[in-house]
Amino acid sequence: MAPLLEVDDLHVHFFTRDGVVKAVDGVSFTLEPGRTLGMVGESGSGKSVTALSIMRLIPEPPGKVVSGDIRFKGRSVLQMSEKEQRDMRGNRIAMIFQDPMTSLNPVYRIGKQIGEPLRLHKNMTGKESVAAAAELLGRVGIPRPKERVRDYPHEFSGGMRQRAMIAMALACGPDILIADEPTTALDVTIQAQILELMQEIQARTESAIMMITHDLGVVADMADNVLVMYAGKAVEYGPADEVFYRPLHPYAWGLLESLPRHDVDDKGKLCPIKGQPPSLINLPSGCSFSPRCAYAQDICRSQAPPLAEIDPGHSSACHFSADKQFIAQSPRCAMEGR
């Protein structure tokens, strides 16, 4: 199946007075119809910048895509004209932004905001777009949608605002839905409802989903493939089952060991990753993770490892990922008896 989206060796820098911030530093992945990509990593690892680059929403200046390519259905997004980008944005590729309270305009009614992409891309009148907005609100589970389209964002709860953002993103039936932390600050019941809603929509429309989240439980539940990012780089990429049950990179090991587990007798202790992510202006030499890696050796501090395929479809950016004895040290592998 031909991919909908191809991100090829993407580099995005921000030019500041303090120096060049390498926010995205050589990221590559593909996304196929009906599939979900989970993108995980600590804050500042480059996840949201990657998504905004795909949407062509990076402010220039100070940001700039300095190299690489983004292809949607085989065509370079970076080579599109401004008009073509506007036609694509919100129409063929839509995004659910991280904070619905700040993403929704507080002075416009919900119906008008949800109907905006329909007026822009489908040439609907104002009345038609509000009627369509009410239908969309009903589809995402908002009660009394014909009345609620006249409400303002502050009259919606957090979960309802997130549903309104999903309705807005789905208005034009996009091929790709980018969800940036769609369940942040929502209680677990609402989180489950939002994720179930997204899965139902994907099953019905065959849309692809790019899910950006800190919640590895969400990724385990929804993702077909997982991209693990650290300091602007992709350090592991592969099928979700492989990444969760046979991780190849020590950073992925650390993320998984930071999760509480009920099936292991570890006396309730968590194993956090020590230290802090590096400055994206002054990255360490060699592997960016080496200052925090308990397994780092001299080669790690002097040479940056490339993202290389270790198993079919499963890649890692570690000098030792192909070494079976090294991988056997993975705490997750030890727990699984591997």
Q: Which amino acid is at 109?
A: R
Q: What is the pLDDT of residues 51-102, one digit of tens each?
A: 999 999 998 889 999 999 999 998 999 999 988 888 888 888 988 887 766 7
Q: What is the pLDDT of residues 296-309, one digit of tens each?
A: 889 999 999 999 99
Query: Residue 80 and residue 55: Cα distance in Å, rounded?
Result: 12
Query: Residue 288 and residue 303: Cα distance in Å, rounded?
Result: 10
Give the pLDDT score at 121.
Answer: 87
Query: Residue 106 and residue 156: Cα distance in Å, rounded?
Result: 11
Distance linking the first and last C-alpha atoms of the chain: 33
Choice between 249 and 336, residue whose per-residue pLDDT is larger: 249
Q: What band does 8 get if pLDDT is binned at 50, 70 and 90? A: very high
Q: What is the pLDDT of residues 99-138, one digit of tens each?
A: 766 778 889 999 999 988 888 888 888 888 899 999 888 8
Give the pLDDT score at 228.
Answer: 95
Tokens of 334: 């030890």
Contact 263, 336 (CB under 8 A): no
Query: Residue 212 and residue 41: Cα distance in Å, rounded?
Result: 9
Pairing verdict, β 5-16 and 63-72 = antiparallel
Contact 227, 40 (CB under 8 A): yes
What pTM did the predictor assign? 0.87
Query: Residue 303 and residue 298: Cα distance in Å, rounded?
Result: 9
Contact 229, 27 (CB under 8 A): yes
Give the pLDDT score at 262.
Answer: 61
Reduce the DSSP state of residue 171 to 3 states and report it: coil
- Per DSSP, the residues of 6-17 read EEEEEEEEEEET
Tally: H helices and E strands in the chain: 14, 12
Contact 286, 304 (CB under 8 A): yes
Worst-scoring range by mean pLDDT, 34-38, 110-114, 155-159, 330-334? 330-334
Tokens of 135: 């239908």
Is 50 exceeded by the pLDDT of residue 335? no
Backbone angles phi, psi at 30, to 5 degrees: -130, 160
Choice between 173 and 17, residue whose per-residue pLDDT is larger: 17
